[in-house]
Amino acid sequence: MGNYVFYTDGSCNVKTEKGGWGVVFCNEGEEKLYYGGSRETTNNQMELMAIIYAMELSIKRGYKSIQIYTDSEYCINSIVDYLPKWIKNKMTKSDGAPVKNQEMMFLINELKKNIKVNFTWVKGHSGNKRNELADKLANKYWDVCDEIDCGEAEIVFNPCRLYCIADTHNMC
């Protein structure tokens, strides 16, 4: 059994609403990079999408447990602390407001039934090599957003949108 580690990040240009996500996968010498994005999104959606992609990939590969490093306190707090309460309260926060990004939260909740995920927060833009790489991947999608032909890329289904995925090898 391997030590399955993912670094995830998301980004979004608030002016254009183009966003991207990046995932760095590391396991006993194997390192792979994944990125994708959406033309109409938010930063938090892209942070969540990176985590969803890491979880879906892990389940597809048959992993039972993974470690995810992220610089998103929003994601960690939402998934670890609040999601069980939100599910119980029909996706309503304690102040009565609806939870944002509900489709993604429901999907994460379903994925969690098939894999154990340990989350660790890392400070963004602090020199952590793999977190910085995930950030670069997330930002890379902004630059190529209009040029990607989804017909030639792997498509990952998410209830929110379809995402174009680029898979790059051994760039860590």
What is the set of active-site residues? 9-10, 47, 71, 125, 135
| Angle subtended by helix axes 129-144 and 43-61, to nearest 10 | 110
Tell me the DSSP string of 10-51.
EEE-TTT--EEEEEEEEETTEEEEEEEEESS--HHHHHHHHH
80 and 58 in contact (C-beta within 8 Å)? no
Distance CA 154, CA 172 (A): 21
Distance CA 135, CA 141 (A): 10
